[in-house]
Amino acid sequence: MKEVRLAITGSEDDPALTRRLSAYRAYLSEATGLPVKLYEAADNNGKIQSIASGQVDVTLLAGAAYANVDAQVGEAVAPILTVRQADGEVGYYSLFLARSDSSIHKLADLKGKTMGYVDFNSTSGYLYPRSKMREQGIDPDTFFGKVAIAGGHTQAIMALESGQFDATVIQAGGGDPQTGFTTGAHFTMARRGLLDVDDFRTVWAIGPIPNTAVVTRTDRPQAFIDIMRGAMAALPYDEPAIWLGTGQPDGASFISVTRQEYQEVIDLREEELVRRRAGPPPAKGAS
């Protein structure tokens, strides 16, 4: 290997992220002895395709995105690390959000409304909430009046704020429904002064969903995989400021993870695809 290629996203709601990642890049470069190049993907799909095709060596993928890669290339890509929070939790949550000035207070109030999902490849913003709605006896294909795809968490919130959507579902972490949350696109946007979180109401919080994984190509040298896993795992202990700069919560750490931890999400995605291939349900009243 002549260089390490790392695909990232996240600059949409935090443009300073790329700048702050320069210290992370320098840290990984020193660890591997190789230049580290950051490839900025426009969205989840950009990261999925870049790691599946082998254009990059490492990236971070949420469960559904990893499930997509797994379906494409199987063992050629493997999860190696995920985040464990200070309280020992290894998951995050999906929040159904509505505007706080709306009449939407509970999931049932969303019947017939416009629902904005994040992305077909989003775990928290599409796959997981649809599965959990089915568990509640709600068919997400018929329950809403209209469904749209925003393209990203930030876009989903902006569309909710502007009234394009009546509700959206996005990721939140750094806590749980009892303690509250601190991480997620709408918190990041609020800290940048772009919105006020009080303008939104959490209608339903579901989870935990297995945390985002660091995934790597398995056709790279084993030494490279071991060094990357070791250097990343050591980061919160040796360089806590860089760790926080990458957007990770204080008190959290990386732990080793395998495909097995994402089996549920892989199964959910497969189930979703089977339903999609089967086509839309028959219209009401059709025989």
Partner 1 sequence: MASAPLALAPAIAQTPKPALRIAAISDKPGPCGPPRASLPPGAQAYYRLLAQRLETQILTCSFPDRAAAAQALAAGQVDLAILNAAAYRPVAAATRSILTVRSRPQLGRVAAVVAVRKGDRRLNLAALKGASVVFGGTNRAYLDHPLRTLADQGASADYFGRQIMADSAEDAAAKLRAGEADAMVLHAGAWRRICIGLKASEWRCDDLAVAWRGRPRAQLAMVVRNDMPLETRYRLIGIHVAMHQEAPTAFDWAAAWTPEPAEFEPTEADALILTSSRGPE
Which residues bind to partner 1, rule: CB under 8 A? 1-2, 30-34, 80, 84-88, 174-175, 178-180, 182, 187, 190-193, 196-197, 221-231, 233-234, 237-238, 240-241, 244, 249-256, 258
> CB of residue 221 vs partner 1: minimum separation in angstroms?
6
Residue with Cβ nearer partner 1 (177 or 275): 177
Q: Measure the CA–CA gap between 193 and 186, rounded to whole angstroms.
A: 10
Q: Measure the CA–CA gap between 224 and 208, rounded to whole angstroms.
A: 31
Residues contacting 29, CB < 8 A, separation 6+: 4, 35, 36
> CB of residue 177 vs partner 1: minimum separation in angstroms?
13
> CB of residue 130 vs partner 1: minimum separation in angstroms?
29
Residue with Cβ nearer partner 1 (106 or 192): 192
Residue with Cβ nearer partner 1 (31 or 73): 31
DSSP 144: S
The number of residues making up the chain comes to: 287
Q: Measure the CA–CA gap between 248 and 236, rounded to whole angstroms.
A: 9
79 preceded by a cis bond (ω within 30 of 0): no
Q: Measure the CA–CA gap between 185 and 191, rounded to whole angstroms.
A: 10
Residue with Cβ nearer partner 1 (163 or 240): 240
> CB of residue 197 vs partner 1: minimum separation in angstroms?
5
> CB of residue 220 vs partner 1: minimum separation in angstroms?
9
